[in-house]
Amino acid sequence: MAFIQCSGLKKTYTVGGEEVKALDGVTLSIERGDFIAICGPSGSGKSTLANVVGGLDQPDEGSVVVDGIDLARAKDKALSDYRNKQIGYVFQSFNLQSHETALENVISPLTVAGVGKRAERRERGMKALERMGLSDRAKHKPTQLSGGQRQRVAIARALVNDPQLIIADEPTGNLDSSRGADVINELKRLNADGITLIIITHDTNVAAQARRIIEIKDGKISERSGAQ
């Protein structure tokens, strides 16, 4: 069985009294270690698909099974556990806690899960920051960091718990092209290390670097192959 198996996913939102089909019978398989780009115009349902695969949202119909866990039927505890241990999120707007330092942000998945002692968590956090070349920024607050640095802190947070999957939702959306390229390179390096990578983007240059490109429009998907 594939690492991620989505079958007949449906999700409908009501916006201003009108029903919008964000996912309309999406069936998709993703193998371990794959690099997928999900593309599509605004409101096409790409973030909804990412959220469903990431365990932040549940579909109205269909099933989504990741590494044997049925996310569509999982309870809050199991879903939270999945988000904490199996995946790492990278958001367009970084989503860092502004009152915490870079290190505190990075170790937040460990703190939330109550993993180990504080010193152990800090050590793991420092390693993740080092991997992103930000060990000298550990005590800085997000406001004291550049956009690119903030996104790398977010990536460090995503990988601190050694996830199998990273979901990056428009990771370069708030960055200039050079810093955006740096971030994509970091993510590709992680993918090369064996982490499955799903990038949601409407940037064709970013999408072109993925092995598989999933186009989504009006909740339906179509696929074309990307870079080999």
Partner 1 sequence: MNFVDQFRTAWRNLSRQKLRTSLTIFAIVIGAVSVTVMLSLVTSTKGFLVSSAEQIGMDRSIIVTGLPGLGYGSSQWNRADGSGKRIDTDSLALIEKLGNVNSASLHTNDGGFFESLTIDGFQITMKNVALEGYSPNGTVIHHMLVGDELSVNTNGSGFLISSNLASELGYKGKEKTLIGKEISLKYRTDWGPPEAKKGDEIGKIVGVTSSDGQNLLSMDLDWAVSMQTLTWSQKGPNGKTETRIESQIAKYGFGSIWIDVNDKKNVDAVMGEIKQLGYGVAAGKEEIDNQATAFTIIGAILGGIGGIALLVAAVGVINTMVMATLERTREIGIMRAVGATKKTIRRLFRVEAALLGFVGGFYGVVISFGFAFGLNQILNKQLADSSIANRNIVSISPQVALLVLLITTLIGMLAGSLPARRAANMDPVEALRYE
Binding footprint of partner 1 on the chain (CB under 8 A): 51, 56-57, 76-77, 80-81, 83-85, 89, 91, 95-97, 99, 108-109, 111-114, 157
| Pairwise CA distance, residues 38 & 23, whole Å | 13
Quick check: 59 and 52 in contact, CB under 8 A?
yes
How far apart are CB 99 and partner 1 at their closest, in Å?
Answer: 6
| Pairwise CA distance, residues 109 & 155, whole Å | 12
Quick check: 134 and 156 in contact, CB under 8 A?
yes
* 71's tokens: 């996310």
Considering the complex, state which of residue 96 and residue 102 has its C-beta at the smaller distance from partner 1: 96
Considering the complex, state which of residue 51 and residue 201 has its C-beta at the smaller distance from partner 1: 51
How far apart are CB 211 and partner 1 at their closest, in Å?
Answer: 26
How far apart are CB 9 and partner 1 at their closest, in Å?
Answer: 15
Inter-CA distances, 55 with 38, 58, 185, 223, Å: 17, 7, 25, 23
Inter-CA distances, 180 with 102, 189, 195, Å: 19, 14, 20
How far apart are CB 81 and partner 1 at their closest, in Å?
Answer: 7
Quick check: 169 and 200 in contact, CB under 8 A?
yes
Considering the complex, state which of residue 51 and residue 209 has its C-beta at the smaller distance from partner 1: 51
Count other Cβ atoms within 10 Å, centred on residue 29.
Answer: 12
Considering the complex, state which of residue 40 and residue 142 has its C-beta at the smaller distance from partner 1: 142
Considering the complex, state which of residue 153 and residue 213 has its C-beta at the smaller distance from partner 1: 153
How far apart are CB 225 and partner 1 at their closest, in Å?
Answer: 30
Considering the complex, state which of residue 90 and residue 138 has its C-beta at the smaller distance from partner 1: 90
Quick check: 84 and 78 in contact, CB under 8 A?
no
How far apart are CB 88 and partner 1 at their closest, in Å?
Answer: 9
